[in-house]
Structure formats: structure tokens, C-alpha cells
Amino acid sequence: MGTPTRVLGRTGIPLSPMGLGCWAIGGPFWEGDRPLGWGEVDDDESVRAIRRGIDLGVTFFDTADVYGAGHSERVLGRALAGVRDQVVVATKFGNTFDERTRQMGEPDVSPAYVRRACEASLRRLGTDRIDLYQLHVGHLPAGEAEAALEALEALARDGLVRAYGWSTDDPGCARLFAGRPHYAAVQFDFNVLLDAPEMVALCDELDLAGINHGPLAMGLLTGKFHAGSRLGADDVRGDAAPGWVRYVPDGRPSPEWLERLAAIRDVLTSGERTLAQGAIAWIWARSGRTVPIPGFRTVRQVEENAGAMERGPLTAEQLADVDALLGR
């Protein structure tokens, strides 16, 4: 059956129907005492996983400068050496950080900082252009957003950026960039348990790609968690988790979310799919503009997620079944 290729908004740049999200491979970083990474990582395994993804047809890789305080970009750049022209690279800016201490600081979206951040990302990635450069601050006043937008357009004119987007769950913010020449994508939290109808409609209206982080609900939709699961103190989902970690608050999977998952498990695992593959298939069925970017730390995880591309999206009937089972 297979899954149709996606396009990066109005740019015409083709994308594989799923990408790989590179947050977890950045390793540890913090905001004060609060961990924002996913624990320790093996850089060699990360490189092998990225290259395996390319072998399996993945051509889109999404990271951010702050992930691991620059480390994710460096690992991705290493993995893409020699194959850079075969793939589409997205990164993000707006969160300051110290590479030495791996501490995240206050946001900065001033035009001067945007350019400095872009040039630093280019160096870490080992490339001469960023295909999709995304604002990583979810909410901004219109004036600050406009200043950042002008800086992004300047980067595009200079050839350092091919297109730009905004990582935000706020349709009002995403609309602030509407109509600008190089605005191509909005990235938002989206999965079978957490529909985002306003964002999906906005992508259709503005001809944007919808890049979907959290497609596996921070691991909940892999099926590996149960009521007794506990996550480590060095994990962003651990007992010091930020308030926006909704599925695994305080290091413990939410019983409410586990119940919802149980209700739809049989639909998602139809057609010999794994649970994770079914969750990705739901996203593709929901909209032809969607590009889920599941995270990974191992070759095996990449192989499982990429396997969803062979099986394709769920059917319209299965979409309706999921909505009925979740009471939507």
C-alpha cells in the first residue's frame, strides 16, 4: 500500500511521509535542576540509527539547537556527512543555552540573535543551508514575531535558509506568518490521543506542511508503559517533569491516558501493525499534509517506525472508529 510522499508547503521540496525527531539523541541538558533531555545516549548508535533511517526511505530530520545544548545538531551533522544533499534538514532557534554547562537560558528572538543562532547551527550541522528553520518559542507578541520574521526572510534572501516555520500549538501565532514568501510549515503536538483540528485546518488554509511532534505521545503509544512504569530522574518525563509533559506526569504514566490507549489498541494494531505504526498511520489518515517525526535512540526504534511507511495510513472507517471509541 505505502504512504504518499509529502511536500514542504509551497516550496515544492519533497519529504518522506515521516521524519525522525532528534530531541532524544541530544542527550542530557537542563533548565536549572530540571532535566530536559531523555537521559544518556550512545552517539555511535544514534549515527547508525539515522543512517538506517535513510536506508529505509526517511529523508527528513528535525532537530533544534537547544537539544543537548547543541549536541543533537552535531550528531546529526556527523551522521549526514556524505549524504547531506539526499535529505531535508530542519532545526529550530529561540532558546538560548550554554554548550559547556548544557543549561538552557531565556528565549531570545531578536534579529541579531536569530542570525547568530542560524550561523551556529550551520556550523554544528556541517552544512551550508538549513532547509527548514523553525521558531522554537511557542508564544510571542505580534511585534516580536514580526521582527523575527524579518530576520528569517533576510536569512532566506542570503541563501542560508530555504524555508522557515513556527513550532507552536497556537493557531493565532501560526497565522502571524501567513502570506510571507518562505513560510512553509507549522510544527505542533499531534497524535491519535490528542487531535488538533484547528492546526490541521490552518495548514490546509495556508498551504503549509504540518510537522507533528509527539506522534507517539512521548512513548505512551509504543505500548511499553503500564500503570507500574517509572521513568528515571534524568528523563524529561521523570518525577521533575515540566507541566507540559501531559502523558507521563511525575514519571508515571497517566491512568487516564492508558485507558484511552486501551480503547483504541485493536484498531491501531490492525493489518499486522505494531502499536507505534498504527499511531503513525492514524496521523497520515487524518491529513495528507502531516509529517510525523517520532523520536528515537536506537536502530531498532527507527526500523519499527519506518516500517509504518510500507503499511500506509488507516482507512476512513478506522478513523471514524477511533473517534467513536474516544468519544470525539
In this prediction, residue 235 carries a pLDDT of 83
Nearest C-alpha neighbor of 272 from the set 324, 308, 318: 308
In this prediction, residue 1 carries a pLDDT of 62
Q: Within 10 Å of residue 50's Cβ, how many Cβ atoms?
A: 25
C-alpha cell at 59: 529523508
Length of the chain: 328
Pairwise CA distance, residues 230 & 226, whole Å: 9
Contact (CB, 8 A) for 234 and 40: yes
- According to DSSP, the β-strands at 130-135 and 30-31 are unpaired
Contact (CB, 8 A) for 312 and 227: no
In this prediction, residue 93 carries a pLDDT of 98
Q: What fold does the segment set 6-325 form as a domain?
A: TIM Barrel (3.20.20)
- According to DSSP, the β-strands at 161-167 and 290-292 are unpaired
Coil, strand or helix at 292: strand
> Structure pTM?
0.97
In this prediction, residue 243 carries a pLDDT of 76
C-alpha cell at 34: 530540571
Pairwise CA distance, residues 110 & 249, whole Å: 33
Pairwise CA distance, residues 279 & 292, whole Å: 10
Produce one character per residue of 245-258: b if its CB has 16 or more CB atoms within 10 Å, e if not. bbbbbebbbbeebb
Residue with cell 554547562: 101
The ranges of the chain with pLDDT < 50 are: none
Angle 68-71-75 from CA coordinates, rounded to 5°: 135
Domain residue ranges of the chain, discontinuous segments joined by +: 6-325
Pairwise CA distance, residues 192 & 281, whole Å: 9
Pairwise CA distance, residues 267 & 323, whole Å: 11
Q: Within 10 Å of residue 236's Cβ, how many Cβ atoms?
A: 24
- Quote the distance between the C-alpha of residue 112 and its chain's center: 26
Contact (CB, 8 A) for 108 and 144: no
Coil, strand or helix at 141: coil
Cα dist from 112 to 27, 94, 128, 202, 243, whole Å: 28, 12, 19, 30, 31
